Amino acid sequence: MSVRTLPLVFINLGGEMLYILDQRLQALNTSEDNSEKGVWSENDRKRVMNDIVGTLFSKDFMDELLKPQQLYSHRTMKTVLTRIAHASIMRLNPASMDRLYELMVMALKYQVFLCPRPKDLLLITYNHIDTVREFVKDTPVLVNQVDETHRKIIEVYSSLPEGEFQLLRQTLLIFFQDLHVRVSLFLKNQAQNPNGRFVLSTSGPVPHGVDVPGLIRTFDSKGREVRRREFPTGGSYTSPIRKGCFELHGDRVLRLGINMYTVNHPEETHTSKTPSVKTGDTPNLLAKEELNLLARLMGSMKAENRPKTESGFRINLFTTDQEEEEAVASGAEQSMFGVINIQAMQDEQAATELARIAGEFAEGEEQPENPSSSSKGDDLLAMMDDL
């Protein structure tokens, strides 16, 4: 397992979180039929983005991340990202944060899968940093924070050997291997199967520095080519495109990691239980299902810790609370797969019994030899409380 994975994961996941929040906040602010329009302003959106970027790219936080260490668990990762999201004037309930985390992780998993070379993981990270820098371009202090973090990443990772990048990629794939959440954008582009697994193309340009497959060359003992033979590759491969820029500014060439939510149809950029296509006057079930899930994602946002002169905001994607509740309740019925509803939180007796069983397992576990390993991430969380 690579001990250099953590900074890249946080920057990329943080970038994806900012993409999603920015797209939804902008869509709500420009929607003519949204009943919540006017409850909050464009300044609120910018403040949310600035607060999150300022926390994510703070010097103390990045210095802690850049220390060689093992990758955190999903639980710890989600906890830290929740703290970062709540550094702004909004709040997300646990269910909403779970959905947001799934969107972030699936987007990054797709990017890692399509990454041409292990070292190109840096280009994905730089694409995220470049876009975040654009988000806060009107705030010089935050631009300087992002640039300083970018310089540190270049300093740490530019000298790593190819083998370390391969280990880093392997660590990321292990981290993502059990997550198969369906995302409507991937489903519509046929980049994901209904079971949540990605479809990898066998065509396109090969990685930089790699020859197009399909030719076998034979050499003699003196190194002279004596024979050539072609073979079918099973795909349509082309020559590699030019090498991307690994400096502070420049053309990354690789498109992975850019904001995939800045499209003409934002309703196609969110998770969905099942894909659907609108034809004629038939209602678009996919759009309704996406709104159901977006309601879970954004519907519980509220302001806290604001001066009394400032009013908080709650974003509602439906006309009324009753309509929202009915839509959310009907969301699971439109899935092509069976859904089992488990009311665990309402069954106090069952929850108590599960807690007792979990406690027995915990008591029987052996204590780790290194006490600090059991609190991985605690120092980071404690430091964030002071930010």
Count CB neighbours of 41 within 10 A: 11
pLDDT digits (tens, 9 = 90+) for 76-120: 999 999 999 888 888 888 888 888 999 999 999 999 999 999 999
- 174-178 contacts: CB < 8 A, separation 24 or more? 174/1, 175/5, 175/9, 175/71, 175/74, 176/105, 176/108, 176/109, 176/112
| CA pair distance 252, 45, nearest whole angstrom | 28
pLDDT of residue 265: 43
Tokens 């990045």, located at residue: 62
The mean pLDDT of 170-178, rounded to a whole number, is: 94
Q: What is the pTM of this model?
A: 0.71
pLDDT for position 142: 96
Question: Over 70: is that where the pLDDT of 182 sits?
Answer: yes
The pLDDT of 170-190, averaged and rounded, is 92
Predicted local distance difference test score (pLDDT) of residue 353:
58
Identify whether the C-beta of residue 315 lies closer than 8 Å to the C-beta of residue 27. Answer: no
Q: Which residue has the tokens 């600035």?
A: 50
- What is the reported pLDDT for 195? 92
Type and span of the H or E element at 75: helix 74-85
Q: Comparing C-alpha atoms, which of 138, 179, 254 is closest to residue 13?
A: 179
CA distance 114 to 83: 30
pLDDT digits (tens, 9 = 90+) for 39-76: 567 888 899 999 999 999 999 999 999 999 999 999 99
pLDDT per residue as tens digits for the range 358-374: 666 555 544 554 544 44
Q: What is the pLDDT of residue 387?
A: 61
Average pLDDT over residues 131-142: 95
pLDDT for residue 384: 60
Whether 152 has a pLDDT exceeding 80, the answer reads yes
Tell me how far apart the alpha carbons of residues 136 and 51 are, in angstroms, rounded to a whole number.
10
Nearest one of 99, 236, 115 to 179, comparing CA atoms: 99
Interval 238-288: pLDDT, tens = 888 888 999 999 999 999 999 988 754 444 444 544 333 333 344 445 555
Mean pLDDT for all residues in the chain: 76
CB 324 within 8 A of CB 316: yes
Mean pLDDT of 172-181: 93
| Listed range (12-16, 292-296, 299-303) with the worst mean pLDDT | 299-303
Q: What is the pLDDT of residue 312?
A: 43
- Checking if the pLDDT of 27 tops 70, the result is yes
pLDDT over 90 (residue 221): yes
The model's pLDDT over 326-357, given as tens digits with 9 standing for 90+, comes to 434 444 334 333 333 333 344 455 556 556 66
Decide: helix, strand or coil at residue 266. helix
